[in-house]
Structure 1
Amino acid sequence: MLPKVILASLRTRRTSALLIVAAIALSVLMIVGIDRVRHQVRANFASTVSGIDLIVSARGGPMNILLYSVFRLSDPTAGIRWQTVEHLAQHPDVKWWIPIALGDSHRGFPVVATNEAYLTHYRYGRDQALALQQGEWFVGADQVVLGSAVARQLNYQQGDKVVLAHGASGPAIVEHDNHPFTVVGVLAPTGTPVDQSLHISLAGMAAIHNGGAFLSGMPPLPGQQADKPDSVNAVMLGLTRRTAVLSLQRELSRYKPEPLSAIIPGVQLQRLWRITAAGENALRATSLAVLVVALLVLVSTVLAALEGRRHELAVLRAAGAGRWAVYGIIVGESLCLTVMGCLLGLLVLFVAQWGLAPLALVEWSLRLPEHFLALRELPAVAAILVAGSLAGLIPAEKAFRNSLADGLTPRN
């Protein structure tokens, strides 16, 4: 009979019950939703580069090097000479290398100058290689390969002409309209900053900064090779053995021809999470405050309803219901409301992430999860259910302490 009594009681107080369910659903939505976004952002950041042992750049802050070379979130520092890049390529501990030259943009999207090693060796996620959604990789100095988000947002197709501009962010300083690029390919979506980038050859970068030498036939600048830039902003290295990472890092820090910095991407990511920990904790505290408010609403609503249930509970006690029966009714109602609130919150979150997933991938290169409830989220949901059940203990004790005479005596 206990479930029937609980359901009948909730039906008679459906308005207040729905408000409680909505409040708990909102708290679950915030707690689980914030945790999912935090976890997914970390996963996306961590999956942006996979298998890169060192990133070498001009002397500078390690965090800044990570942000501009991998995430395109900062302005690049001074470049390193091409002779240094060739020295790194010939190092016995280096298995493969990817040069990165930055500093140009197109309608707010960064331009990355590199070579075929980018397509061959760059990895993201769980060792996933880049793939072309359509077209082919650039082979000429006037060809460009677009990230999926660039192609989608700017509605570019193969064969379209693109004019790049000097300046990695903000308004364009100088447009390289004397050297337009032709779109020859579009990369498949990755959920990383690759989607938000345009990719050209190192020869193309050299051409637009040498006055359009490839179109006009002008000779390169003194000391400058026609198919190579004089410098690049970073070089990503894959080593023959992981144990050589620290020794090569120390070696490059003492490189005499020019000052260099070599960073380990995974180490810098951990430092980044420590920097953002305060903001994450603030969001968690906010979501927990919402849950506390929802539980207080639950307790106050049940207490307020007891005044109208004095006769009902007194009849139950007169019929032989003991302490556990009264506790079962009140706590059972609290648990039932909490379960419904959790399910509603998780359902709304699932629908929201399903609907926003395409937009998040295109606009922010963020892959939203596809699951309804992950294993790591079970402790949080279980804690909410326990807290919701415990919230019914105070009203249950108050209801049990009401005497039979008090509940059966008519009031004027």
Structure 2
Amino acid sequence: MWISPTWQGRQTMLAKVMLASLKTRRTSALLIVAAIGLSVLMIIGIDRVRHQVRANFSSTISGTDLIVSARGGPMNILLYSVFRLSDPTAGISWKTVEHLADHPDVKWWIPIALGDSHRGYPVVATNDSYLAHYRYGRDQRLVLQSGAWFARADQAVLGSAVAARLGYQQGEHIVLAHGASGPAIVEHDNHPFTVVGILAPTGTPVDQSVHISLEGMAVIHRGGAYRSGLPPMLGQARDKPDSVNAVMLGLKRRMAVLSLQRELSRYEREPLTAIIPGVQLQRLWRITAAGENALRATSLAVLVVALLVLVSTVLAALEGRRHEIAVLRATGAGRLAVYTVIVGESLCFTVLGCLLGLGVLFLAQWGLAPMALAEWSLRLPEHFLAWRELPAIGAILLAGSLAGLIPAEKAFRNSLADGLTPRN
């Protein structure tokens, strides 16, 4: 399609007018861009953190049908057994664990005993089933980055974050302490553990944990001594613990989940609670929804303030631009041309603000990614802009453009007040 030189020349002239205006108002333009960039940083940043936290929480455990623990709140059971974010409640007896292991609907079982720590990192006592059956993400299994899984009561396997943060290697000796969180209550310095393996990074609380055998936990709490020459445990400990805090179950038939859950709620030997991890995760999202909405409202308020600053700044500058607009009108520019200049400037501010906010967010992700993974087992996104974020960016650009309509209409009315004849 052919474009007339006259029309093309006018567009070039309007672009030059906008650029010249922006240069003369550099300070105010930079402040507007910074304000919009901050709002974009908050809106997209909060959405990314929310999305990534949900993804990390959801991927922490996969394929586990039920988690059985002593009678207690389902949410608390999920938090301490999977995420290590709460103190464990009373344990369930080993006889009950054996009953669960022998249940005809149970395919595999993973006992977990908590309550100890090492330099602030939780200690998880378990058996070989943990390495064989624990899944995270999309049915991913745990893999040893170096060394081997524990085969003796005095051996420990570290999560990747523990090894990286504390600088541990295979063969080093560590001392555990009683107490799952806070300062150590009693150190088990008479029973040191030897690091025999380090797990590969998973982006889950597994990275933040020290893993020992159930036998090892039983020994340090009973004050006994390690026995040499013990064979690999293969899911059975020679020194059985009195109790564990939770048992993860994988069932032979998914259809049996609800029936087994009801059966365990009526267990006669001791009070039990069996939770479905996926159901409790959905409850967790509903609980945190209010906080997420508050953060979104705050970021939207920042955007509204930035747009108001944009409008007020452009309006304040109109008085000094009356001659500029008058020259445009004298050359034949109509309402559309005036609107193009003013709204174009607002859109330019918004585009630059979006690029600034996204750029700062990308650099922050890149810089904080190693610390987030090591400290919180949180994998930060690596992209500059995701497809799901395009609607939000589009809405911000539209809002920025619309914010220029009020100053544009005022500029056009000023030109009429100056005695110019409109040419539409």
**TM more than 0.5:** yes
Q: Secondary structure at the match of 2:171?
A: coil
Cα deviations by residue, 1:210-266 (Å, 9 ceiling, x for unpaired): 21232599xxxxxxx843212111000111122211111011111111111000111
Does 2:393 align with 1:393? no
Does 2:322 align with 1:295? no
The 5-angstrom pairing of residues 351-362 of structure 1 reads 351-362=363-374
The 5-angstrom pairing of residues 8-407 of structure 1 reads 8-215=20-227, 226-404=238-416, 406=418
C-alpha distance in 2 between matches for 1:358 and 1:407: 64
C-alpha distance in 1 between matches for 2:278 and 2:146: 32
C-alpha distance in 2 between matches for 1:315 and 1:154: 70
| Superposed displacement of residue 407, structure 1 | 7.1
The alpha-carbon distance between structure 1 residues 160 and 327, as it changes in their structure 2 partners (threshold 3 A), is same
The answer to whether the Cα contact below 8 Å between 1:317 and 1:404 also exists between their aligned partners in 2 is: no
C-alpha distance in 2 between matches for 1:407 and 1:383: 38
TM-score (norm. length: structure 2): 0.92
Task: Give the letter for the 1:285 counterpart.
Answer: A
C-alpha distance in 1 between matches for 2:416 and 2:219: 94
C-alpha distance in 1 between matches for 2:145 and 2:225: 31
C-alpha distance in 1 between matches for 2:292 and 2:82: 22
C-alpha distance in 2 between matches for 1:301 and 1:308: 12
Cα deviations by residue, 1:275-325 (Å, 9 ceiling, x for unpaired): 122221221111111111110110011111111110111111121111111
Task: Give the letter for the 1:282 counterpart.
Answer: A
* Map of 2:7 onto structure 1: none
| Superposed displacement of residue 25, structure 1 | 0.5
Name structure 2 gaps, 5 residues minimum: 1-11, 230-236
Name structure 1 gaps, 5 residues minimum: 218-224
Task: Give the letter for the 1:62 counterpart.
Answer: P
| Superposed displacement of residue 78, structure 1 | 1.1
The answer to whether the Cα contact below 8 Å between 2:153 and 2:212 also exists between their aligned partners in 1 is: yes
TM-score (norm. length: structure 1): 0.94
The answer to whether the Cα contact below 8 Å between 1:101 and 1:232 also exists between their aligned partners in 2 is: yes
C-alpha distance in 2 between matches for 1:179 and 1:293: 61
The alpha-carbon distance between structure 1 residues 318 and 11, as it changes in their structure 2 partners (threshold 3 A), is same
Task: Give the letter for the 1:326 counterpart.
Answer: V
Task: Give the letter for the 1:83 counterpart.
Answer: K
Give the CA RMSD over aligned residues. 1.5
Task: Give the letter for the 2:333 counterpart.
Answer: A
C-alpha distance in 1 between matches for 2:380 and 2:145: 21
The answer to whether the Cα contact below 8 Å between 1:105 and 1:165 also exists between their aligned partners in 2 is: yes
C-alpha distance in 2 between matches for 1:165 and 1:113: 13
Higher mean C-alpha displacement, 380-389 vs 239-248: 239-248
The answer to whether the Cα contact below 8 Å between 2:354 and 2:393 also exists between their aligned partners in 1 is: yes
Q: Secondary structure at the match of 2:226?
A: helix
Report runs of 4+ in structure 1 exceeding 6 Å deviation: none
The answer to whether the Cα contact below 8 Å between 2:63 and 2:139 also exists between their aligned partners in 1 is: yes
Task: Give the letter for the 1:96 counterpart.
Answer: W
C-alpha distance in 2 between matches for 1:377 and 1:3: 29
Q: Secondary structure at the match of 1:214?
A: coil
The alpha-carbon distance between structure 1 residues 314 and 253, as it changes in their structure 2 partners (threshold 3 A), is same
C-alpha distance in 2 between matches for 1:176 and 1:194: 22
Task: Give the letter for the 1:210 counterpart.
Answer: R
The answer to whether the Cα contact below 8 Å between 2:325 and 2:415 also exists between their aligned partners in 1 is: no
| Superposed displacement of residue 9, structure 1 | 2.1
C-alpha distance in 1 between matches for 2:415 and 2:54: 56
Higher mean C-alpha displacement, 10-19 vs 392-401: 10-19
The answer to whether the Cα contact below 8 Å between 1:318 and 1:404 also exists between their aligned partners in 2 is: no
Q: Secondary structure at the match of 1:402?
A: helix
Cα deviations by residue, 1:16-73 (Å, 9 ceiling, x for unpaired): 1111111100110011001111111111111111111110001111011001100111
C-alpha distance in 1 between matches for 2:385 and 2:138: 22
The answer to whether the Cα contact below 8 Å between 1:46 and 1:269 also exists between their aligned partners in 2 is: yes
Q: Secondary structure at the match of 2:264?
A: helix
The answer to whether the Cα contact below 8 Å between 1:332 and 1:389 also exists between their aligned partners in 2 is: yes
What is the number of equivalent residue pairs in this alignment?
401
C-alpha distance in 2 between matches for 1:139 and 1:407: 93
Q: Secondary structure at the match of 1:366?
A: coil
Q: Percent of pairs identical after alignment?
A: 86
The alpha-carbon distance between structure 1 residues 389 and 246, as it changes in their structure 2 partners (threshold 3 A), is same
Task: Give the letter for the 2:165 counterpart.
Answer: Q
Task: Give the letter for the 1:104 counterpart.
Answer: D
The answer to whether the Cα contact below 8 Å between 1:310 and 1:407 also exists between their aligned partners in 2 is: no
Q: Secondary structure at the match of 2:418?
A: helix
C-alpha distance in 2 between matches for 1:6 and 1:49: 55
Task: Give the letter for the 1:383 counterpart.
Answer: A
Q: Secondary structure at the match of 1:256?
A: coil
The answer to whether the Cα contact below 8 Å between 1:135 and 1:185 also exists between their aligned partners in 2 is: yes
Task: Give the letter for the 2:260 counterpart.
Answer: L
